DNA sequence: CTGAAAGCGCTTACAG
DNA sequence: CTGAAAGCGCTTACAG
């Protein structure tokens, strides 16, 4: 391998001169530069980034932890993040939870070992918030709460819930099924406790604090449906890894709940529900409306173009990238981190492209759920699966 | 940052002893080990992988170049590769062509600069094969031919074409439309020329050699359909980046070719065609059969469960990973590379899970197309979009 | 503006 | 079995 030393020798200059030329830092006389450059060309010299990174104690790598890259929501998120990070000079390491035996711990370990500069955490975690806070290296949470001092960014789920509720109420829905993750995921984790909330009135124990902000969309939707006296059920599907379970879920919904006239769920759920409805000859949207929550490309490619809450991947990725890079640049201390929000009190700062989530957060039905630091507006994209 | 030096000092031993303990290499007395380990614990020492990698001149990173990670085929491929690489101790760098201004050159540059140990190339390239051969660092081609000395792995497209042909012929198809990439992509690139092939008999200029082995599936399918005297057309869609174009394509197919009774294309194409057929009230599979080529999860989640050629992602990823790692371990010279296949002559070696692609390659309709070094069998998974 | 020297944190022959 | 020393390829104060 040809190194700087060889170039220096060939050009008859010192190591530092070569370095200056390569990096374009400081002044080098044209003559010197010319000599060095021609030597580089002659020797086919390529700087070894590994050495440079070693010196600077950086890798230029940011890990993105997702449950699995196969799920369309996460594949779009990862793509958007990858793009936003690339624009800012960082490369993306795919960290699929499905491929780590020890769960996210493995990736945190890599972070500690300086195999990457920071981590964007977009997967579910079984660790208590205290764990994340104690890591002391750059971490940003995507759409979840990871503990004090760790920034969190995501869509405005309260707005999402409201948009869906409006659509359903306006079109006269009578019995809505919400499909989502295990409800208990939304709840308290050990080591994280704030003032306890009361019963949600739906038979679900509402947690005092949650690591999973998505719950705010269900809670909002349910709150609005209750107000409008529209019946609603919640159906759990398993983890996102197992796409086949969605299919079974769709089958069971129609088997056991013949009288429903609206389904709300992730775009994967929605796609399978459409397939099943078509199979059963149920008319969509005449007899049944379907609304997808994520709006990945799957919402477009399913049996019909699905009406969907469009999460703004571009903005989300942009804000998340900027945030993690700020943490990396800022060093390891908490200087750049957002001040931890106090329990029950909504932070009034964290608002980039922030919508009114924060102000609305005070509503009673959201009591005890934790708003994200930074929240990005969503919008309803109308497809073929809802009535006007 | 606490380093080995600190640990050594705290434990009252030398640097090398600490290194031995950390790496578990060589003999260290229990007493010493104990002292070092307790010091490590006390100081919360975490080895700096960056330094270690620097010394060993490796990154542990393998770049996977795909057009875009959003396309279900590539998201499944990437996930499978990521898994297979992780199992073997390597991490995956997403290299999305869509996010590189300079195309793959940017990633090759990173490879040269030792920012990754190797590259798996699964995207289309505009470079002549000579370019790839000259790079002199570990590269493996997925489903394309990149020039002499560069291993290529992919599915057995000849078998794929035959399976589809059999299905269509058996069920009495009369007019088949194949949807695929720009046909001219399949053809010769500058700097790569072998004995010229003749006209395919379909009005398409058949190239003497191709960088895009997928053509073998179209050629085989068309050959078989010709033999059975079944009419067939080829419809081009644009690049895979633009998923919206698939929708337009589907629309146009039905608009202009009312009498078709079978469509063959990637699962994205197939999904959109189903959507359009449902919209138009065309009965699938009664009036129209649809067969997808990739069989990503989209084939399951589309309007109907699509009959599809299942590419064996697990095996493909396994073989590709093993191959690239072998190149990396073997060093930079050609020792570990497969011998370049001579023009017109089929290699008889490269067969891991290889099917009969190679032997079939001699068939006249494939003349001039280039078989992959290693080929993995496919199978037809029957869904709801074909007749029995 | 250019060069000699020290150092990034670790590993590895090489003496003891 | 343990320690002192050199070195991986580059960068960066620091003298000239």
pLDDT in tens, A269-328: 999 999 999 999 999 999 999 999 988 889 999 999 999 999 999 999 999 999 999 999
Asked if A263 and A291 count as a contact pair (C-beta separation under 8 A), the reply is yes
Please tell me if residue B23 touches chain A, with a CB cutoff of 8 Å.
no
Hey, what are A387's tokens?
């009535």
Q: How many domains are there within chain A? A: 3
C-alpha–C-alpha distance, residues B278 and B282, integer Å: 6
Distance CA A33, CA A18 (A): 8
Q: Which two structure tokens, joined as six digits, stand for A172?
A: 């006269």
pLDDT tens column, A209-252: 456 777 888 889 999 999 999 999 998 887 777 777 888 899 88
Order of strands across the sheet that contains A175-180: A231-236, A175-180, A262-265, A289-292, A307-310, A379-381
* Residues B140 and B152: beta-carbon distance below 8 Å: yes
Question: What is the reported pLDDT for B107?
Answer: 94
Claim to verify: residue B98 and residue B218 sit in the same structural domain: no
Instruction: Decide if pLDDT at A118 tops 70.
Output: yes
Q: DSSP of B291-322, one letter per residue?
A: EESS--THHHHSSSPPEEEE--HHHHHHHHHH
Q: How confident is the model at residue A362 (pLDDT cuts 50, 70, 90)?
A: low
Residue B386 lies in a domain: no
The terminus-to-terminus CA distance of chain A in angstroms comes to 67
Cα(A338)–Cα(A186) distance, integer angstroms: 23
| Pairing assessment for the beta strands B307-310 and B379-381 based on DSSP bridges | antiparallel
Q: Tell me, yes or no, if B371 comes closer than 8 A to chain A by beta carbon.
A: no
The CATH number of residue B113's host domain is 3.40.50.2300
CA distance A335 to B89: 35
Check A278 against B303: CB less than 8 A apart. Answer: yes
Q: What is the CA radius of gyration of chain B?
A: 25
Q: Residue A179 falls within a domain, yes or no?
A: yes
Positive or negative, the CA dihedral A54, A56, A61, A62 is: positive
Measure the N-to-C terminal CA separation of chain B; round to a whole number of Å: 67
Q: Which of A57, A83, A115 comes nearest B99 by C-beta?
A: A83
On whether both A150 and A165 belong to a single domain, the answer is no
Q: Report H helices in chain B.
A: 4-11, 15-23, 30-43, 49-56, 72-87, 105-112, 129-133, 157-170, 215-227, 243-256, 267-280, 298-301, 313-330, 357-360
Q: What is the pLDDT of residue A162?
A: 94
Interatomic separation, CA of residue B154 and C1' of nucleotide C14, rounded (Å)? 49
Alpha helix ranges (H) inside A13-156: 15-23, 30-43, 49-56, 72-87, 105-112, 129-133
- Residue B9 is part of which domain span? 4-47
Measured in degrees and rounded to the nearest 5, phi and psi for residue B209 equal -150, 150
Structure tokens at B148: 């002499």
Q: Answer whether A69 sits within 8 Å of B86, measured CB to CB.
A: no
Instruction: Let me know whether A209 and A124 are in one domain.
Output: no
Residue segments in chain B with a per-residue pLDDT below the cut of 70: 184-211, 258, 331-364, 367-368
Place of tokens 């030096």: B5
CA of A162 to C1' of D1 (A): 71
With left for phi above 0 and alpha for psi between -120 and 50, is residue B225 left, alpha or beta? alpha
**DSSP characters for A33-57?**
HHHHHHHHHHHT----HHHHHHHHT
Whether residues B260 and B289 fall in one domain: yes
- Mean local confidence (pLDDT), A64-68: 94
Of residues A124, A294, A313, the one with CA closest to residue A217: A294
For B:317-346, CB contacts with A below 8 A are: none
Q: Which residue has the higher pLDDT, A369 or A94?
A: A94
Residue A204: C-alpha distances to residues A182, A183, A222 (Å): 12, 8, 11
Answer whether residue B340 is part of any domain: no
**Tell me, what's the pLDDT at A366?**
72
Is residue A14 included in any domain, yes or no? yes
Before A285, cis peptide (omega within 30)? yes
Residues 6+ apart with CB under 8 A from B333: none
Integer CA distances (angstroms), B341 to B154, B354, B359, in order:
16, 16, 14
Decide if B73 contacts B294 (C-beta within 8 A).
yes
Characterise B378 by phi-psi region: left (phi > 0), alpha (psi -120 to 50), beta (else). Answer: beta
Residues B76 and A70 sit within 8 Å (Cβ to Cβ): yes
Integer CA distances (angstroms), B110 to A38, A43, B47, B55, in order: 22, 18, 25, 18
**B159 near B178, Cβ under 8 Å?**
no
Burial code (b: 16+ CB inside 10 Å, e: under 16) for A335-352 equals eebbeebeeeebbeebee
Facing B113 at nearest CB: one of A46, A110, A304: A46
> For residue A129, what are the CA distances in angstroms to A337, B8, B121?
15, 33, 40
Answer yes or no: do B98 and A91 touch at CB < 8 A. Answer: no
Mutate to test the interface with A, among B69, B306, B333 (most CBs of A within 10 A): B69
In the prediction, which pLDDT does A31 show?
86
A116 Cβ neighbours under 8 A, 6+ residues apart: A59, A61, A62, A63, A93, A110
Taking residues A9-22, what's their average pLDDT?
90
Tokens of B317: 């990823």
Q: Tokens for A257?
A: 């709940």
Distance from CA of A203 to the nearest CA of B (A): 32
B140 and B77, same structural domain?
yes
For residue A332, the model assigns a pLDDT of 45
CB-to-strand C under 7 Å, chain B 43-82: 47-48, 51-52, 54-56
Q: Say yes or no: B191 and B281 in one domain.
A: yes
- Position B368 scores a pLDDT of 65
B97 interfacial to chain A (CB closer than 8 Å):
no
Nearest residue on chain A to B79, judged by CA atoms?
Answer: A69
Domain-embedded: residue B54 = no
Pair B29, B81 in one domain: no
Structure confidence at residue A75 as a pLDDT band (50, 70, 90):
very high
Whole-number pLDDT of residue A261: 92
Q: How far apart are CA B242 and CA B260, in angstroms?
A: 25
In a domain, B388, yes or no: no
Least CB–CB distance from B69: residue in A59, A78, A98: A78
Q: CB count, 10 Å around CB of A283?
A: 9
Q: Does A91 lie at the interface with B, CB-CB under 8 angstroms?
A: yes
Judging by beta carbons within 10 Å of its beta carbon (0-12, 13-18, 19+), is residue A23 exposed, middle or buried? exposed
> Which phi-psi region, left, alpha or beta, contains residue A338 (left: φ > 0; alpha: ψ -120 to 50)?
beta
pTM: 0.88
Which residue's entry shows tokens 């009005």?
B203
A221 lies in some domain: yes
How far is Cα B290 from Cα A102, in angstroms, rounded to an integer?
A: 42
> Nearest CA to B153 among B98, B240, B208, B80?
B80
Residue B135 C-alpha, separation from nearest chain A C-alpha, in angstroms: 12
- C-alpha dist (Å) from residue B69 to A70, A81, B74: 9, 11, 5
Same domain, A350 and A240: no
Q: A171 and A291 share a domain?
A: yes
d(CA B37, CA B57): 27
Residues of A within 8 A of B275 (CB-CB) are 301-305
Q: Are residues B352 and B239 in the same domain?
A: no
Token digits for A255? 């088997």
pLDDT band for position A368 (cuts 50, 70, 90): low
**Predicted confidence (pLDDT) per residue in A135-163, tens digit:** 989 999 999 888 888 999 999 999 999 99
Distance between CA A208 and CA A190 in Å, rounded?
12
- Residues of chain A neighbouring B244 (CB-CB closer than 8 A): 300
What tokens does B265 get?
A: 């294309």
The DSSP code for A197 is: P
The confidence band for A347, taking pLDDT boundaries of 50, 70 and 90, is very low
Q: Do A69 and B47 touch (CB under 8 A)?
A: no
We report the CATH number of the domain holding residue A37 as 1.10.260.40
What does the DSSP 8-state code read for residue B207?
Answer: P
Give how far B104 is from chain A: nearest CA, Å: 14
**Cβ atoms within 10 A of the Cβ of A162, count?**
19
State whether residue B248 sits within 8 Å of chain A by CB.
Answer: no
Answer whether residue A335 shows pLDDT above 50: no
Tokens of B24: 């578990």
Strand partners, A91: A61
Ramachandran class of A157: left when φ > 0, alpha when ψ lies in -120 to 50, beta otherwise? alpha
DSSP A150: -
Joined together, the tokens standing for residue B60 give 């542990």
**Which residues are registered as beta bridge partners of A262?**
A176, A289
B379 token code pair:
């199978």
> Longest Cα pair distance anywhere in chain B, in angstroms?
85
Cα gap B319→B312, rounded to integer Å: 11
pLDDT (0 to 100) of residue B217: 85
B113 and B186 within one domain = no
Contact of B265 with B289, CB cutoff 8 Å: no
pLDDT exceeds 90 at position A125: no
- Considering only CB atoms, which chain A residues are within 8 Å of B69? 69, 75, 78-79, 82
Residues A165 and A306 in one domain: yes
Over range A165-186, report the average pLDDT. Answer: 87
* Alpha carbons B233 and B141: distance in angstroms, whole number: 29
Residue A182 within a domain: yes
């Amino acid at each position: 391998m040809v190194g700087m030393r060889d170039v220096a020798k060939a050009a008859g200059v010192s190591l530092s001169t070569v370095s200056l030329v390569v990096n374009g830092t400081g002044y080098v006389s044209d003559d010197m530069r010319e000599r060095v450059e021609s030597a580089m060309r002659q020797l086919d010299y390529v700087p070894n980034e590994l050495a440079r990174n070693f010196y600077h104690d950086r890798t230029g790598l940011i890990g993105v932890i997702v449950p699995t890259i196969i799920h369309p929501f996460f594949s779009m998120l990862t793509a958007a993040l990858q793009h936003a990070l690339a624009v800012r000079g960082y490369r993306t390491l795919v960290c699929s939870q499905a491929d780590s035996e020890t769960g996210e711990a493995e990736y945190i370990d890599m972070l500690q070992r300086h195999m990457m500069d920071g981590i964007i955490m977009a997967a579910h975690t079984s660790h208590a918030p205290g764990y994340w806070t104690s890591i002391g290296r750059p971490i940003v949470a995507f759409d979840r709460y990871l503990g004090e001092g760790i920034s969190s960014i995501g869509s405005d789920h309260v707005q999402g819930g409201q948009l869906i509720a409006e659509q359903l109420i306006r079109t006269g829905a009578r019995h809505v099924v919400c499909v989502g993750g295990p409800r208990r995921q939304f709840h308290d984790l050990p080591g994280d406790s704030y003032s306890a909330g009361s019963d949600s009135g739906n038979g679900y124990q509402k947690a005092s604090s949650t690591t999973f902000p998505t719950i705010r969309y269900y809670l909002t939707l349910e709150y609005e449906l209750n107000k409008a006296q529209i019946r609603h059920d919640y159906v759990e599907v398993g983890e996102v890894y197992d796409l086949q379970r969605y299919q079974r879920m769709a089958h069971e919904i129609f088997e056991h709940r013949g009288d429903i006239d609206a389904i709300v769920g992730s775009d994967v759920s929605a796609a399978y529900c459409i397939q099943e409805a078509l199979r059963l000859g149920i008319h969509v949207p005449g007899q049944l409306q379907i609304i997808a929550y994520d709006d990945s490309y799957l919402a477009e490619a399913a049996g019909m173009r699905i009406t969907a809450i469009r999460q703004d991947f571009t903005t989300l990725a942009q804000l998340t990238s900027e945030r993690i890079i700020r943490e990396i640049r800022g060093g390891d201390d908490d200087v750049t981190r957002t001040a931890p929000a106090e329990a029950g009190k909504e932070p009034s700062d964290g608002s980039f492209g922030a919508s009114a989530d924060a102000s609305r957060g005070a509503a009673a039905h959201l009591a005890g759920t934790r708003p994200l630091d930074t929240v990005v507006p969503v919008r309803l994209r109308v497809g073929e699966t809802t009535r006007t």
